[in-house]
Chains A and B, each alone.
Chain A
Amino acid sequence: MDILAQAAGLVFQPYVLLVIFASACFGLFVGAIPGLTATMATALLVPITFFMDPVPAIAAIVTATAMAIFAGDIPGALLRMPGTPASAAYVEDAYLMTQDGRGDEALGAVLVFSAIGGIFGTIVLVTTAPALAEIALKFSSFEYFWLVLLGLSCAIFVSPSSVTRGMIALLIGLFAATIGIDNPAGQPRYTFGNVELLAGVQFIPAMIGLFAVSEVLRSIVYSKERPKIDRSGKHTVFKRQWTNIRRYPIQMLRGSATGTAIGALPGAGADIAAWISYAVSKQFSRQKEKFGRGHVEGLVEAGASNNGAVSGAWIPALVFGIPGDSITAIVIGVLYVKGMNPGPTVFINDPQLIYAVFMVFFLANIIMLPLGWVAIKGASTLLSIPNRVLMPVILLFCIVGSFAINNSVFGVLLMLIFGVLGFIMEENDIPIAPAILGLVLGPMLEQNFITSMIKADGSFLAFFERPIAAGLGIFTIVVWSIPIILYLRRRWAGSEASPKEDLPQG
């Protein structure tokens, strides 16, 4: 109790609260601009935190990243420009809801369930961090290989159109991911001697191109004005969320838990968590057919999942000093500078500091609600701007965002190429989301497969020799074979049962 009181004394000071508020606004601003990422927000904060005490320094980073990741959903829902790969999983649903006049509800859902996922992750962090970190440490490339493969399978589950078209999109993404030198063999591929191509296809410009630029192109080609969006319902940001919580309690918990667990793995983060949660949500939903067409259910689960993962990433970071993602990598550095060396000892030596950090986590996720509301309300006015003005402005933002990621014109070029590609894909009913998935997970799949094969001296059996890997592997194979078995059984029986009734329920 005494420690908690000390911790509260460290947090609830005017200066610390002011820092939290200021960094929240900063995080919202950075996250809402596509191309400026949560990692960048953190890196920009680091020099400022040198002059702060440990608690405000960590508070600034925690708050800014939580805000930036939520704010990435705002341009996603309003303009179809996902701010982070994690929001790309459900951007289609959020955007279509906005088109349908339910933008406030969509963003409200992401906001509320982000906060819930974040708080859930924090509770897990507070209660079971050391135990969970021990399990996470057992993951080697064999386990990650299966996990990534499961993630890739989501491409089939998340694509709203046919399986074949989903596969085509996935392969486009996987191909783009092979470009460059950052592969296990360290060999340049498809670079044609170009220095910029050595770095491969940068993810953010490609994503902005595929989603946003293709949308700009379409609006020009068809020169249609968006349907007038009814914005008369005033207080819908939070109002509908009670209904959503009551209607989707399992989705909410499942998303939070999946996200936190995946986030706690050092080699996987918020993006893969959001994709898996979205696919799980669709697979177990009673209204599968609505996914990808403006349905809130996937937002609930995946929204909770990616923020759960952000909190989960702190588990290995605090317990073992292992970065779960690029943000915690920066934070670990800051912790060292502040004398709070991560490791089991930090829980014993400075418990009041650790508890203060935990309190900041809760505060950051709670302050997200009012500030997020203001941001949503402010950003929504964008929608009343006519297309002929809005589209050029979007294009301008796309260019700035693609340039900012690496301060290079090459990013802008990539964005334009992928914009045209995205346009062609959508004109042919090929979904975009699986291509993004391939681009994100392709390098991880290759890395984990090749390194596993090297370790096992080329023996495939090694993928089943470790207990967790074997479990994940068998699960993956079962997931893959169920549709085939069901198909064969139907053929065998010659029945004409509709495929929907036959899909696995568990």
Chain B
Amino acid sequence: MRKRTFLAAAAALLATAVFGAPAALAQSDYPDRPIQMIVPWGAGGGTDAVGRIFASILQEELGVPVNVVNRTGGSGVVGHSAIATAKPDGYTIGIVTIEIDMMHWQGLTDLTYKDFDFLAMVNADPGGVMVSADSDYETAQDLLDAIKSEPKGALKASGTGQGGIWHLGLLGWLLSEDLPPDQITWVPSQGSAAGITDMVAGGVDLVPSSLAEGRSMIEAGKVRPLASMSEERQEMFPDVPTLKEAVGSDWTLAVWRTVAAPKGLPDDVKAKLAGAVEKAYNSEEYQKFMADRGFGMRWAGPEEATEVVASDDESLGRVMKEAGLAAE
């Protein structure tokens, strides 16, 4: 019995190999085989969680298995390249994160957002300003006064690697206050959890990562949130003022995650995928999952998502150039 199934599978495989080409042209029956979803960050992180919940809902929408593959390392370059260089047939999609707007400025890759077809933006988390609960700074204004009065580099901040997204978030804020980019020394860390832990241990003074990432420590009374880098207060942290309210700064930044495919998707495939992604976004499962995890909801369809990605590309590029983080 087992042998027979094997033979059948082998025959099916052979048939796909032989007749595969014409089948790929007639896309009307898309999808007819498993879809691969590439996540450019490690298993266990926030992007991985979003990728996996999406995969499990898309699987029901599309009726074929959607397999999550973590392609990690190289500050996200490896995974993003794997998505962009895949065949644009709708059988490889991935989660593209805000790092795509940073890595090419750093000179790590030639890859930009233009190498992708964006299907939707499905999440965004605004940056924040957090200090340890035993810190002297009670408000963002206290902190800003200290930043201005202390000698250059006296205050230390952490939360991502050198030139990582939260580093840029802090730099953007400093530049918006007409402060030099090296007014605060950046201490590179492996992600915001490590940065927050280090801050509570007394290693650094502030962490500008998303409030959601500090949620458990905020609830445990170890971390004090001072501000949110968003236009409106966050639903989960109604008591935390926006940066505008707190110190009058116009700077905002949110890290987003998009579902994207390699550039050049056939129109009918793109329409079908985008529809499925929108349904998945609106599913009760996804909404509940994101609310429980404390991740911010953000919907943008293909065109709007591309616009947001393009405008962030420009503003992040400006900050990186001013801070001397962009490659020559």
List residues of chain A with CB under 8 Å of any chain B CB.
Answer: 39-40, 42-43, 46-47, 50, 137-142, 180-182, 184-186, 188, 195-196, 198-200, 202, 266-267, 319-323, 326-327, 329-330, 332-333, 336-339, 341-345, 406-408, 447, 450-451, 454-455, 457, 466
B48: min CB distance to chain A, Å? 7
CB-based contact B156/A406 at 8 Å: no
A49: min CB distance to chain B, Å? 11
CB-based contact B204/A455 at 8 Å: yes
- Given A195-B77, A199-B73, A202-B73, A267 and B197 contact (CB-CB distance below 8 Å): yes
- The 8 Å CB contact of B153, one of A142, A181, A343, A457, is A457
Map CB proximity to A onto B68-90 as digits: 1 under 8 Å, 0 otherwise: 11111111011001100000000
Q: Which residue of A lies closest to B216 (CB)?
A: A321
CB-based contact B217/A186 at 8 Å: no
Q: How many residues of B contact A (CB 8 A)?
A: 61
A233: min CB distance to chain B, Å? 35
Residues of B within 8 A of A406 (CB): 70-73, 78
Q: State the CA gap A293–B293 with chains docked (Å).
A: 49
Q: State the CA gap A425–B68 with chains docked (Å).
A: 37
Task: Name which of A321, A327, A332 has the most chain B CB atoms within 10 A of its CB.
Answer: A321
Q: State the CA gap A454–B157 with chains docked (Å).
A: 11
CB-based contact A341/B44 at 8 Å: no
CB-based contact B189/A344 at 8 Å: no
Residues of A within 8 A of B62 (CB): none
Q: State the CA gap A371–B163 with chains docked (Å).
A: 48
Contacts A137-B200, A342-B216, A343-B216 given; 15 further ones with Cβ under 8 A? A39-B43, A39-B44, A40-B43, A43-B43, A43-B44, A181-B108, A198-B77, A199-B73, A200-B73, A326-B43, A337-B293, A406-B73, A408-B82, A454-B185, A455-B187
Map CB proximity to A onto B39-83 as digits: 1 under 8 Å, 0 otherwise: 000111110110011011000000000001111111101100110
- The 8 Å CB contact of B197, one of A184, A195, A198, A322, is A322
Q: State the CA gap A138–B293 with chains docked (Å).
A: 27
Q: State the CA gap A63–B206 with chains docked (Å).
A: 38
CB-based contact B201/A182 at 8 Å: no
CB-based contact B69/A141 at 8 Å: no
Which residues of chain B from 108 to 134 have any CB-CB distance to chain A below 8 Å in the complex? 108-109
Q: Which residue of A lies closest to B196 (CB)?
A: A322
Q: Which residue of B lies closest to A450 (CB)?
A: B188
Residues of B within 8 A of A46 (CB): 49, 52
A14: min CB distance to chain B, Å? 26
Task: Name which of A188, A198, A266 has the most chain B CB atoms within 10 A of its CB.
Answer: A198
